[in-house]
Amino acid sequence: MKKIKKAYKVIKSNIHRRGLCAARDIKKGEKIIEYKGKKITHKQADVNSKYGYDITYLFTLNKKYLLDGDFKYNTARLINHSCNPNCEVLDEYKSAIWISAMRDIKKNEELSYDYGFSYDCDYKDHVCKCGAENCVGFIVREGSRWRLNRKYLKNY
Ligand SMILES: C[S@@+](CC[C@H](N)C(=O)[O-])C[C@H]1O[C@@H](n2cnc3c(N)ncnc32)[C@H](O)[C@@H]1O
Ligand SMILES: [Zn+2]
């Protein structure tokens, strides 16, 4: 059976510290890497100072649970956010979270997805440096970015 080459590799990112890039051309819809971690409750995250730093490796599963992805074995933790991402999160089953290609991705393109941060949760704490043309300057989920655009327009 032909072995399929791993789709990603670790890089020094132009967005933030380390990131992942495509190690080969990737087709739209291809599952690239699983986001693995330890299931914890929001309450546990709130009381543990380990989760209070600038760099967050927490992945929200639902209103009760998060996935703490801050483990070496979870290489997917290194994927950065972009306002024009090439990947998306497949979480239909929540038992396994896969990062998959939203479109065809060329070898050496940095992999990114929309972190899905809400506008209400102190968006100003999360400055976005993705460099995309449509970047709104903060890491905010796509569905809420219009609120920021409106703010920008007011300033002109
Ligand atoms: C899950 S880590 C991503 C990997 C990180 N680059 C590293 O080297 O560990 C998430 C953190 O990376 C940074 N980050 C990710 N995407 C970013 C972006 N578009 N702009 C600025 N910082 C970003 C933020 O500090 C965020 O809390
Ligand atoms: Zn951005």
Query: Does residue 104 form part of some domain?
Result: yes
Query: Does residue 66 form part of some domain?
Result: no
Domain count, the chain: 1
Average pLDDT of the residues of the chain: 88
Do you know the residue count of the chain? 156
Query: Does residue 131 form part of some domain?
Result: no
How far is ligand 2, taken at its centre, from the CA of residue 91, in Å? 22
* pLDDT for the residue numbered 103: 98
- Which of 96, 99, 102 has its CA nearest to residue 29? 102
For residue 83, give the ligand 1 atom closest to its CA: 19
- What is the Cα–Cα distance from 154 to 124, expressed in whole angstroms? 17
Query: Does residue 2 form part of some domain?
Result: no
Query: Does residue 93 form part of some domain?
Result: yes
Instruction: Indicate if ligand 1 lies below 6 Å from the C-beta of 81.
Output: yes
For residue 55, give the ligand 1 atom closest to its CA: 27
- What is the Cα–Cα distance from 86 to 111, expressed in whole angstroms? 6
Residue 112's domain comprises 8-36+71-116
- CATH classification of the domain holding 79: 2.170.270.10
Ligand nearest to the backbone CA of 141: 2
pTM for the full predicted model: 0.91
User: pLDDT tens, 28-70?
Assistant: 999 999 999 999 998 998 887 777 656 678 888 888 888 899 9
Ligand nearest to the backbone CA of 83: 2
User: pLDDT tens, 113-133?
Assistant: 999 888 876 888 899 999 999
